[in-house]
Structure 1
Amino acid sequence: MRPRWRARRRRRKRAEAGAMAFVRASLPALITGGAGDDPAGILTYTVVGATTGFSQLWLILLSTPMLAAANSMAARVALAAKDGLAAVIRKRYGRTASMVIVLALAAANIATISADAAGVAAALEMVTGIRWEWLLPLILAVLLLVLQEGYTRVKRVLVSLSAVLLAYVFAALLAHPEWPAVFKATFLPHVSTQRAWLVASLGILGTTVSPYLLFWQAGEEIEELQEGIIIQANTSDAGVWLGMLFSNLIAFFIVVAAAATIHSQGGQIQTVADAAQALAPLGRVGQALFITGFLAAGLLALPVLAGSTAYAVAEAFGWPEGLGAAKAHARGFYAVLVGSLLVGMGLALWPHFRPTEALFYSQVLDGALLPVLMLMLLVLSNDRRIVGEATNPRWINLTAVMTIGLALLANALALFG
């Protein structure tokens, strides 16, 4: 009896250890996934639902493995090389290639910070009645206070904000959509040749797989290693899948809520206020859920945007980095992090600043960067000199090739369509 009891105890301990390893691997990916649904993304998904109804839900399903493959490769390279993504690119492809990618990433991130900050402030204005320009310093102060707390506490705050995004699930349920139509649109692809439909489809693909998320995912894996948390490649893949499923689940329900309410009314969405007002059929609770989710998305995405910029710049120059690093030791990293927030919010206060144009051009930069970055990641994550035996599974390689093809097609349509 005693040997059998001991065997059961060992199995239970192994199961508990495996579950804890999965949870540890999932937390960074949940933050990355939640940050992917930033205010710009929420507006994009709302516009998609408002203009095309349920017809593009299948694209969200299709983009889930693409998103998981991209972030799995970033995590795999970081874990194996024990270095950030920009640092590995610098060592493998040279400083020039690294600097070109980092400069494009920084420009796109700062433009997105500006537009996201303006969106969060506009949502707060709807709640408080205070002019949004006066709320930007408050948002900046909150972000800086959070980022002062070190990686472990920052991670807890960001995970909590990710959970708030579940508000969009409840908003969609309150909209009472036609569920048979939702399921049909999800699993039976429909393609339209109308320009509005094609533009919306590019918006979904461009918003879903964002380059800044790859640098953040890699940076988080290094932070976890520095905290003494060892994550295996297969466990990391499972954690990434959970995070990306969460991200696209939120995107799915945002589209459903907008399609069930705004599309049927023929409304148009350009601002946060437009979106909230168009969701009036959901009632006050539904509108409150939308605004709550929007605020959480902004407060989650802004540190991630600034953090991914700081990781990339510090790695490109070979500086000390990390939210867990002492301020005196990683001055360059923290200077870029704070500087990107200051510049981004300064641009938002510029009288001639147009958030929609900033988002458009940031998407153009991200779209141009994505196929190049994905190709580099595909090579790096199959290079045994870098990742050893932890090369990509076949499904990641196939999905990465498909993602590169779609990204190149999207760029061609943007240039010549």
Structure 2
Amino acid sequence: MGYMDPGNFATNIEAGSHYGYGLLWVVLLSSLIAMLFQALSARIGIVTGKNLAELCREHFPARVTMAMWLASELAAIATDLAEFLGGALALSLLFHLPMLISMGIVAALTCAILSLEKRGFRPLEILIATLVAVIGGTYLCELMIAPPEWPAVIANTFVPHLKDSGALTLAVGIVGATIMPHTLYLHSGLTQNRVMAKSSSERRRLIDFSNREVLLALGAAALVNMAMVIMAATVFHRVAPGISDIGAAYRTLIPVLGGGAAAIFLVGLLASGISSSVVGTMAGQVIMQGFVRTRIPVAVRRLVTIAPSFAIVAMGCNVTRAMIVSQVVLSMALPLPMVALLLLSGKRPVMGEFAVKRRTIVLASIAALVIVGLNIMLIWQAVA
């Protein structure tokens, strides 16, 4: 769910409206990198029985661990900002409610859904899967209503290019929105609450199953993210080029595709905001418990992480712009858990016979360097 949150909506819609199909390759590349690192995250959880944050605390110096925890908490706030604002914005537009009231409703719904965790992981998984199906269904409907130019879609999916500095900023935002730092911690933690392996053969079977699960789940998420860009390119790039606000996108859809298509768009955004807020809160708990061995009540954590969202709305800031900036923050925080995964998953003292092979480490290192390079380019562009 972390790969189809409102941050993805914001970056993908702006990418499609500004650059047409031109940034589809970024979505594909980000999704492939996400698959690789999510597989590594699940692997270390299955093999060690510990989550990534716990392993960082055990194997890295205290100062490094503290820095990683602070960066992770900042990323969690940035994540929650996009998820919470996106869900509240959808509710506000759909039912014509004030934003502050919508935010209160989304917060209450999130806490209610999180209470399902007390009944085991399966009810929560079923609900999340249902919400994911809703999001996927909404974009399938949108593509049927507004068919894209498929030759252009295919060409731009496999030919990397950045038109200008604005495309670079959006590319970094797409990377941050797609390869979420908090999900790398969360996936390793989720394996702790499922089937516990009792032997090497069972661990190997679980890893194989997990790899197939990652491929299927993130493959579906990649298709939904690409559908977001394609829809924005097909509709907005032609009739309202440069649109960068979700509210404006909704209002533009009404005369172009009809009120039904606009409502479908908001339903998908609402499902995304609510479900990803649940996942973000779960990830925050894993991060705090792993790094500093502290667990606080879910309600308290929600209040802390959503406070910036209320401040942004109260100050009258542009909600969509705030969501995109939050995704750039995520991209800046992303190299820390990626490097930690690389270091830990290749260590025999940590992973034993399940330490990843050198070619996998090399491939993952190249992927991490690409993301670091994009971040450096963005910083250079900002200060130049």
TM-score, with structure 2 as normaliser: 0.89
* Pair 1:304 & 2:279 matched: yes
Q: Unmatched 5+ residue regions in structure 2?
A: none
Alignment correspondent of 2:235? 261
Alpha-carbon contact 2:148-2:230 (below 8 Å) kept: yes
Distance 1:38 1:372 in 2: 21
Moved more, 171-180 or 351-360: 351-360
- Structure 1 residue corresponding to 2:344, chosen from 380, 388, 394: 380
Write the distance in 2 (CA, Å) between the matches of 1:360 and 1:254. 15
Letter in 2 for 1:288: A
Please point out which of 283, 289, 306 is paired with 1:345.
306
2:259 to 284, 295, 308: 284
1:398 deviation in Å?
3.6
Deviation of 1:125 (Å): 1.5
5+ residue gaps in structure 1? 1-33, 320-331
CA gap 1:348/1:202 in 2 versus in 1, 3 angstroms: closer
CA change 1:396–1:288 in 2 (3 A) is: farther
User: Are 1:107 and 1:362, in contact at CA under 8 Å, matched by a contact in 2?
Assistant: no
Matches of 2:302 and 2:27, distance apart in 1: 30
- Cα 1:172–1:398 shift into 2, 3 Å: farther
Higher-Rg member (1/2): 1
Q: How far apart are the structure 1 equivalents of 2:129 and 2:150? A: 30
Instruction: Show the counterpart of 1:235.
Output: 209
1:408 is the counterpart of 2:353? no
Matched, 1:37 2:4: yes
Matches of 1:118 and 1:193, distance apart in 2: 29
Match of 1:57 in 2: 24
CA contact (8 A) 2:45 2:189 kept: yes
Give the 3 Å change call, closer, same or farther, for CA 357–252 of structure 1 in structure 2.
Answer: closer
Going from structure 1 to structure 2, the CA distance change for 1:190 and 1:141 (only over 3 Å counts) comes to closer
The 2-side partners of 1:89 and 1:269 are apart by 42
Counterpart check, 1:149 vs 2:116: yes
Deviates more, 1:371-380 or 1:264-273: 264-273
Deviation at 1:367, TM superposition (A): 2.4
Amino acid at match of 2:152: A
| Aligned residue in 1 for 2:65 | 98
**More divergent stretch after superposition (287-296 vs 152-161):** 152-161
CA offsets, 1:62-88, max 9 Å, x none? 222211011111111111110111001
Cα distance between partner residues in 2 of 1:214 and 1:271: 29
Letter in 1 for 2:275: L
Output aligned runs, 1:3-402, within 5 Å.
34-150=1-117, 151-166=121-136, 167-187=138-158, 189-225=159-195, 232-280=206-254, 281-319=256-294, 332-333=295-296, 335=297, 337-350=298-311, 351-352=314-315, 354=317, 355-356=319-320, 358-359=322-323, 362-393=326-357, 396-402=360-366
Q: Deviation at 1:352? A: 2.3
- The amino acid across from 1:338 in the alignment is A
Q: CA deviation at 1:409?
A: 0.7
Quick one: distance in 2 between partners of 1:164 and 1:84?
30
Task: Report the CA distance shift for 1:372/1:225 in structure 2 as closer, same or farther (over 3 A).
Answer: same
Superposed CA deviations along residues 330-378 of structure 1, whole A, max 9, x for unmatched, are xx25x2x332311233332222263456445533442232223212211
Q: 1: CA distance between counterparts of 2:190 and 2:57?
A: 19
Answer yes or no: is the 8 Å Cα contact 2:173–2:328 preserved in 1.
Answer: no
Residue 368 of structure 2 aligns to which amino acid in structure 1?
I
CA contact (8 A) 1:39 1:294 kept: yes
In structure 2, the CA distance between the partners of 1:259 and 1:360, relative to structure 1 (3 Å rule), is closer
SS in 2 for 1:148: helix
The SS at the match of 1:309 is helix
Q: 1:344 to 1:312 in 2, by over 3 A?
A: closer
Q: Identity of counterpart residues, as a percentage?
A: 24
1:202 deviates by 2.1
Q: Quick one: distance in 2 between partners of 1:245 and 1:148?
A: 29
- Contact 2:13–2:244, Cα closer than 8 Å, also in 1: no
Measured at CA, do residues 146 and 213 of structure 1 come closer, stay the same or move farther in structure 2, by a change above 3 Å? Answer: same
Q: What is the identity, as a one-letter code, of the residue corresponding to 2:302?
A: L
Q: CA RMSD in A?
A: 2.3
Q: How big is each residue's C-alpha offset from its partner over 1:115-167, in whole Å with a ceiling of 9 and x where there is no partner?
A: 43222112112121221211222222211111112233222211211111111
Alignment CA distance shift 1:404-1:353 (3 Å): farther
Distance 2:328 2:63 in 1: 21
User: 1:36 is paired with a residue of what secondary structure?
Assistant: coil
Separation of aligned partners in 2, 1:182 and 1:365: 28
Question: Quick one: distance in 1 between partners of 2:93 and 2:332?
Answer: 35
Return the alpha-carbon distance in structure 1 between the equivalents of residues 134 and 357 of structure 2.
33
Contact between 1:76 and 1:387, CA under 8 Å: does it hold in 2? no
Instruction: Count residues with an aligned counterpart.
Output: 369
Give the secondary structure class of the aligned counterpart of 2:334: helix
- My pick for the range that moved more, 126-135 or 80-89, is 126-135
Q: Is the 8 A contact 2:6 2:269 kept in 1?
A: yes
